[in-house]
């Protein structure tokens, strides 16, 4: 994700750059959605007028697309994780040492973990790539 970019990610980033005219190197999949992270100031340009760029990329790739602001550091971690897992909500998030703990209710915890822990592993990969921390969901 952050450390390595495979050919499929390279194609997605290249298409995103051609359509939106915003360069980014952060692209990952979460819950069958392709997520692009762009600087906060470039977010409006990346989305396009009335979501035109998102619709065009979605139409070409035939997969759901989401564009979110990239975090500036650990202080933006909660906002970033909320953007990734949206519409699922969690109660609180605690960062201690090299561990990030997300506290969610029973139903939201199940949604965050997913069947066969698939979403948990995807989110864990995102958290370790951006913040270099381990993830726990309680």
Q: What is the CATH number of the domain that holds 98?
A: 3.30.300.20
Stretch 113-131: mean pLDDT: 92
103/126 same-domain check: yes
49/102 same-domain check: no
Distances (CA, A) of 52 to 19, 57, 62, 79: 10, 9, 15, 24
89/43 same-domain check: no
The residue among 46, 69, 92 that closes a domain is 69
The residue among 44, 69, 94 that closes a domain is 69
Which residues, 6+ apart, have CB-to-CB distance to 60 below 8 Å? 15
The residue among 31, 51, 69 that closes a domain is 69
pLDDT given at position 2: 59
| pLDDT per position as a tens digit, 59-82 | 999 999 999 999 988 888 999 999
pLDDT given at position 3: 63
Structural domain span for residue 127: 74-137
Dihedral, 6, 11, 16, 18 alpha carbons, nearest 10: 140
Domains: count for the chain: 2
Place of tokens 């970019």: 5
| pLDDT per position as a tens digit, 1-42 | 456 778 999 999 999 999 999 999 899 999 999 999 999 999
The chain-wide mean pLDDT, for the chain, equals 91
pTM of the model: 0.88
């Amino acid at each position: 994700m952050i450390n390595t970019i495979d050919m499929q990610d390279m194609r997605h980033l290249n298409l995103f750059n051609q359509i939106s005219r915003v360069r980014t190197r952060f692209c990952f999949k979460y819950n069958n959605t392709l997520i692009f992270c762009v600087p906060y100031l470039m977010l409006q340009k990346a989305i396009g007028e009335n979501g035109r760029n998102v619709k065009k990329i979605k139409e070409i790739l035939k997969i759901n697309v989401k564009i979110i602001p990239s975090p500036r550091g650990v202080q933006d971690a909660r906002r970033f994780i909320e953007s990734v897992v949206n519409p699922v909500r969690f109660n609180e998030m605690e960062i201690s040492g090299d561990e990030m703990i997300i506290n969610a209710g029973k139903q939201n915890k199940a949604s965050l973990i997913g069947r066969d822990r698939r979403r948990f592993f995807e989110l864990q990969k995102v958290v370790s790539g951006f913040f270099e921390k381990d993830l726990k969901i309680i």
